[in-house]
Amino acid sequence: MKPVLHLFIMIDACGWEILQGRPFLKGLAPHRRKLESVFGYSSTCVPSILSGHWPDEHRNWCYFVYDPEHSPFRSLRALRWLPSAVTGRRIFRRWMSKFVKVQLKFRGYFDLYNIPFRFIHLFDFTEKKSPLQPKGMNRGSNIFDLLEEGKVPYFVTDPSRPEEENRDRLIADLEKQRIDFAFQYWAGLDGLLHMVGNDSPQIGTKLDVYEDWVTRTVEAAKRNYQTVRLHVFSDHGMANCDTLVDMRTVIEALPLEFGKDYAVVYDSTMARFWFLTGRARPLIEQALAGMPHGRILPEEELRHYRAFFEDGYFGELIFLMPEGVLIVPSHMGERPIRAMHGYHPTDPQSYASLLTNYEEVPDHITHIPHIHRLMEAALPSTAPKP
Ligand SMILES: [Zn+2]
């Protein structure tokens, strides 16, 4: 028997609201807490958990940024002549994304999404490394750097393998007592929620499957470790999208040229603008004021949520939709999806959850980056704290 296992299981999008009224893991993880998430998508929530730092510190925020000087995508511009019936297809985009990821040696998650090839040479992609590996942050350290430094043997999910395979790999490591720390990351619920929404009966079925997997993992742990510190948590929640807004048509009707006067990335819940000429900002701000939904986030609010970037790297103006409103078409997708996250952190469905068998979760664990403080318990006391 080994003394202690620090077991961290992240179920993507298993938000606080989704769990209300469900007995999910009440037996194994009776201590439950609502956590405030971080403003942004999984591209920022997961790195924030893994590093214990905020977006303005680690600079893993949104995926695509306007940065023609550093764009690695120049060669893809040739594809602009292909008919959009081909380049707009999800299957083509997925295949291209895999090809580009290998060509450019990107280590993290990569998807071309719906960025038009006509403009792709103007953009850079900000997650070239994998936050799930040591030295994987854009800035600063993550838990894996500290575990390696402290020589703590650990397991981490390989996101290129199916969930079941990662489940079995971890259980095998536990049976062999090979590790003292595990970070298991299951993404399937997030994908399902995007498709069917948070009130579908399929959600309960999926949670039952996860309950079984967590139980099997914990049983294997208890056979091999005297103490198992279990933490099951999420990075954010999920809101159903019942209202669609076409921002692109409104902005493209302005007497401005994309790439000359302005640049924009339409994420699915926010639009991020860069202004290249003096006349672009007033015209765009005026158009935004006329939008039926959404608002410009003031600097002080972005600062409060630790997502203000002094250099405007991720956009000089951030326009955010209220919960339930989806930007369609966007650079993330041409067609609507049933549910989305990435709304304001205090919108009801945004909150994340923390479920644990550990009674003494300190009061200062209130936001998802604080999960890192719980993970630090696995480090030898001599290891430097971040
Ligand atoms: Zn998602």
Average of pLDDT values for 287-291? 97
Please give the pLDDT value at position 231: 98
Ligand 1 centroid to residue 381 C-alpha, Å: 36
Ligand 1 centroid–CA 261 distance in Å is 32
Same domain membership, residue 18 and residue 35: yes
Burial class (CB in 10 A: 0-12, 13-18, 19+), 116: middle
Rounded average pLDDT over 195-220: 98
Tell how far the Cα of 156 is from the centroid of ligand 1, in angstroms.
Answer: 20
Q: Does residue 383 sit within a domain?
A: no
pLDDT band at 90 (very low <50, low <70, confident <90, very high): confident
Q: Rounded to the nearest whole angstrom, what is the distance from the C-alpha of residue 340 to the centroid of ligand 1?
A: 7
Q: Which of 102, 125, 148 marks a domain boundary?
A: 125
Please work out, in degrees rounded to the nearest 5, the angle formed at the alpha carbon of residue 155 by the alpha carbons of 212 and 40.
Answer: 80
Q: What CATH code is carried by the domain that includes residue 267?
A: 3.30.1360.180
Q: Which residues surround ligand 1, an ion (CB under 5 A)?
A: 190
* pLDDT band at residue 74 using 50, 70 and 90 as cut-offs: confident
238 alpha carbon – ligand 1 mean position (Å): 8
Distance from C-alpha of 50 to C-alpha of 188, rounded to nearest angstrom: 19
**271, part of any domain:** yes
CA gap 378, 295 in Å, rounded: 42
Q: Which residues contact 318 (CB under 8 A, 6 or more apart)?
A: 270, 271, 272, 296, 297, 302, 307
Sequence-separated (6 or more) residues with CB below 8 Å from residue 167: 184, 186, 213, 216, 217
Query: Average pLDDT in the 363-374 region?
Result: 97
What is the reported pLDDT for 92?
Answer: 77
- Indicate the Cα dihedral angle 290, 291, 295, 296, nearest 10°: -60
Residue 194 Cα, ligand 1 centroid: separation in angstroms? 7
Task: Report yes or no on 200 lying in a domain.
Answer: yes
Instruction: Answer whether residue 179 shows pLDDT above 70.
Output: yes
The pTM for the full model equals: 0.93
Residues 73 and 167 in one domain: no
Q: Indicate the average pLDDT of the chain.
A: 93
Measured in Å, residue 207 CA sits from the centre of ligand 1 at 16
Quote the ligand 1 centre to 322 CA distance (angstroms): 17
Tell me which residue has tokens 């609507």.
336
Burial of 247 (0-12, 13-18, 19+ CB in 10 A): buried
Taking the centre of ligand 1 as the mean of its atom positions, its distance from the CA of residue 341, in whole angstroms, is 6
Cα 10 to averaged position of ligand 1 atoms, centre (Å): 13
143 located within any domain = yes
SS3 232: strand
Same domain, 230 and 167: yes
How far apart, in whole angstroms, are the C-alpha atoms of residue 366 and residue 356?
Answer: 14
C-alpha of residue 182 to centroid of ligand 1, in Å: 22
3 state SS for 269-335: CEEEEEECCCCHHHHHHHHHHCCCCCEECCHHHHHHCCCCCCCCCCCCEEEECCCCEEECCCCCCCC
Say if residue 109 is in the same domain as residue 51: no
Ligand 1: distance of its center to the CA of 13 in Å? 7
Distance 221 CA to ligand 1 centre (A): 29
Q: What is the mean pLDDT of residues 112-134?
A: 87
Cα–Cα dist 330/41, whole Å? 15
Q: Are residues 220 and 302 in the same domain?
A: no
Q: How far is the CA of 43 from the centre of ligand 1 (A)?
A: 9
- Over 80: is that where the pLDDT of 78 sits? no
* Nearest one of 78, 77, 114 to 97, comparing CA atoms: 114
| pLDDT at residue 116 in the model | 77
What whole-number distance in Å separates Cα of residue 322 and Cα of residue 316? 20
The yes-or-no verdict on residue 383 having pLDDT over 60 is no
> Among 18-32, 109-123, 362-376, which is the least confidently predicted range?
109-123
Domain hosting residue 38, numbered range? 2-56+130-239+346-378
Q: 27-43 burial, b if ≥16 CB within 10 A, otherwise e? A: ebbeebeebbbbbbbbb
* Share of residues in the chain with pLDDT > 70 (%): 98
The answer to whether residues 74 and 214 belong to one domain is no
pLDDT score for 382: 56
| Lowest-pLDDT choice from 119-128, 174-183, 345-354 | 119-128
